[in-house]
């Protein structure tokens, strides 16, 4: 049995294609059932997120299976196959396994290390389980992917640092203030990056937001958007002491916050620390503010520097993660190979034969006055019993027309008689984990 993957992602297709090919999460039953009814396809799971659409399937015929999945994607969405094919990638065997392990571990994501993708694959797998389109191989395949992702997360620091300017600002604020729940953000001006940073601060739950702008109407409009308090630009110095985090991006040609303003401001706020983020070019805040006690000033370049360092760190961690993925591929293939019928029959027979020989030896050693020739007859008898007992299961296994049930039998036999050796040690991870 072979595993195949056909799909497209942010790396191979633009959003205008991705949105046309996406599957709605509320309507997974129909496509999943259609897929497993296709000839050559025995199991299928669809992963559909805003950045990727992928079908994982099992098939006996790799080329045929891939062709059917491609055709299915095009037909299901009424999209011309020739156009679609240019954006599709397809993998089978080891490459397919590497691919899904990397996707689940977020090594293939737009922002490497972002954790959402694992949850999305788990949800997709949930649908497949619910509509019974996945079976023994894809179950194991995806559970393995989850456990690889978990290993990557615990053994590397791939997701431990902020990799966007807005997030870096939040992380730095946390290093100054600890909890941000009782902090107030002041937004000066209305740059895009400033607004984004403000949104991140609101997401982590700051107590309040104030907005000011040279044109008061603009401040009011923005304030409405953020559920914030508008402040007149002329009153900036009155409100500054109330703000813990100041995000500034005005188009002013000169500094709007100067070092010598700060003494009064800090006195009024009892010297509680202040965190300034100056995103404006030319700068809004006098760099000397950073020299004032309890004031911390970061410019957009500083934040970019933080992000670059973090990205560099992620690259190192990603290399470690890739090594983990490679290790785990080997393990999964050992299990997959164990599903082959012939080695299982051989293992099963030798397992029974070992028992037979051991028991026979035990009996014969206790049996002193055995008539001549009896030993051979007992040998033949036990052999015949074993062969009779194993005949039916062996011939059932050898029948090649039963598709995925064969894998099920093989897997069950290996578990029942403990035939598997190194591959089966790890427990299946809980789906919710």
Partner 1 sequence: MNALLFNSTLVIYAVVTAIYLLYLLKPKDSLGKTGLWLTLAGFVVHCGFTVNRYLEAGHTPITNLHESLSFFSLAIVGIFILFERRYKISILGSFMMPLALLVMAISASFSSVIPPLNPALKSKWLAVHTIMAFLGYAAFAISFGVSIMYLIQSHFLKTRRLGPMFQKLPALDLLDDISYRCLTFGFPLLTFAIISGAIWAETAWGTYWSWDPKETWSLITWFIYAALLHGRLTTGWRGRKAAMLSIFGFVIMLFTFLGVNLLLPGLHSYK
302 binds partner 1 per the rule CB under 8 A: yes
What are the distances in angstroms from CA 381 to CA 38, 356, 388?
Answer: 48, 11, 11
Q: Is 277 helix (H, G, I), strand (E, B) or coil?
A: strand
Q: Among 203, 260, 304, 309, indicate the residue that binds partner 1 (CB under 8 A).
A: 309
Using the minimum distance from each CB to partner 1, give the nearer residue, 175 or 254: 175
Which residues inside 43-82 make contact with partner 1, applying CB under 8 A? none
Q: Among 178, 205, 251, 287, indicate the residue that binds partner 1 (CB under 8 A).
A: 178
305 binds partner 1 per the rule CB under 8 A: yes
332 burial via Cβ count (<10 Å: 0-12, 13-18, 19+): buried
Contact 187, 198 (CB under 8 A): yes
For the chain, the residue count is 433
Tracing tokens 């891939």 back to the chain, one arrives at 66
Which residues inside 202-261 make contact with partner 1, applying CB under 8 A? none
What's the closest the beta carbon of residue 269 comes to partner 1, in angstroms? 8
Give 247's strand partners: 187, 277
Using the minimum distance from each CB to partner 1, give the nearer residue, 217 or 293: 293
Contact 55, 44 (CB under 8 A): yes
Using the minimum distance from each CB to partner 1, give the nearer residue, 119 or 305: 305
Q: Among 272, 362, 391, 398, indicate the residue that binds partner 1 (CB under 8 A).
A: 272
352 burial via Cβ count (<10 Å: 0-12, 13-18, 19+): middle
Q: Provide the annotated active-site residues.
A: 50
311 binds partner 1 per the rule CB under 8 A: no
Contact 276, 296 (CB under 8 A): yes
Q: Residue 304 and residue 285: Cα distance in Å, rounded?
A: 17
Span interacting with partner 1, options 24-32, 174-182, 395-403, 413-421, rule CB under 8 A: 174-182
What DSSP letter does each residue of 156-193 carry, written as one string? S-TTSS--SHHHHHHHHHHHHHS--TT-EEEEEE--HH
Q: Among 192, 217, 293, 432, indicate the residue that binds partner 1 (CB under 8 A).
A: 293
Within 13 Å, how many C-alpha atoms sit on residue 109's CB side? 23
Q: Among 77, 87, 151, 174, indicate the residue that binds partner 1 (CB under 8 A).
A: 174
What's the closest the beta carbon of residue 310 comes to partner 1, in angstroms? 9
27 binds partner 1 per the rule CB under 8 A: no
What's the closest the beta carbon of residue 313 comes to partner 1, in angstroms? 9
Using the minimum distance from each CB to partner 1, give the nearer residue, 273 or 393: 273
154 binds partner 1 per the rule CB under 8 A: no
What DSSP letter does each residue of 193-204 carry, written as one string? HHHHHHHHHHHT
Query: Applying CB under 8 A, which residues contact partner 1?
Result: 172, 174-178, 267, 269-273, 290, 293-294, 296, 298, 302, 305-306, 309
């Amino acid at each position: 049995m072979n595993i195949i993957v056909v799909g497209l992602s942010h790396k191979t297709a633009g959003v205008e294609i991705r949105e046309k090919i996406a599957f709605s999460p509320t309507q997974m039953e129909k496509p999943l059932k259609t897929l497993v009814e296709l000839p050559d396809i025995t199991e299928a799971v669809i992963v559909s997120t805003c950045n990727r659409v992928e079908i994982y399937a099992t098939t006996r015929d790799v080329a045929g299976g891939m062709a059917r999945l491609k055709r299915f994607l095009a037909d299901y969405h009424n999209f011309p196959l020739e156009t679609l094919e240019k954006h599709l990638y397809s993998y089978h065997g080891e490459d397919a396994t590497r691919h899904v392990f990397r996707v689940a571990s977020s090594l293939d994501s737009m922002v490497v290390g972002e954790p959402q993708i694992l949850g999305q694959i788990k949800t997709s797998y949930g649908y497949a389980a619910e509509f019974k389109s996945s079976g023994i191989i894809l179950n194991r395949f995806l559970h393995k992917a989850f456990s690889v992702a978990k290993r990557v997360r615990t053994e590397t620091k791939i997701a431990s640092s902020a990799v966007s300017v807005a997030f870096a600002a939040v992380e730095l604020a946390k290093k100054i203030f600890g909890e941000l729940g009782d902090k107030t953000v002041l937004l000066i001006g209305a740059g895009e990056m400033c607004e984004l940073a403000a949104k991140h601060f609101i997401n982590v739950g700051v107590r309040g937001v104030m907005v000011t702008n040279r044109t008061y109407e603009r401040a009011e409009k923005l304030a409405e958007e953020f559920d914030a308090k508008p402040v007149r630009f002329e009153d900036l110095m009155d409100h500054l002491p109330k703000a813990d985090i100041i995000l500034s991006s005005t188009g002013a040609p000169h500094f709007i916050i100067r070092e010598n303003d700060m003494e009064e401001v800090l006195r009024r706020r009892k010297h509680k620390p202040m965190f300034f983020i100056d995103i404006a070019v030319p700068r809004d805040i006098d760099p000397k503010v950073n020299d004032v006690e309890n004031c911390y000033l970061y410019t957009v370049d500083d934040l970019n520097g933080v992000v670059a360092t973090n990205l560099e760190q992620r690259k190192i961690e990603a290399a470690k993660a890739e090594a983990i993925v490679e290790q785990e591929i080997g393990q999964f293939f050992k299990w997959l190979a164990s599903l082959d019928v012939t080695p299982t029959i051989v293992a099963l027979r030798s397992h029974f034969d070992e028992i037979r020989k051991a028991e026979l030896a035990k009996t014969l050693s206790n049996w002193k006055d055995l008539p001549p020739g009896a030993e051979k007859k007992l040998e033949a008898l036990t052999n015949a019993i074993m062969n009779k007992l194993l005949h039916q299961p062996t011939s059932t296994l050898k029948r090649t027309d039963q598709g995925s049930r064969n894998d099920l039998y093989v897997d069950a036999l290996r578990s029942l008689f403990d035939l598997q050796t190194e591959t089966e040690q790890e427990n299946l991870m809980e789906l919710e984990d």
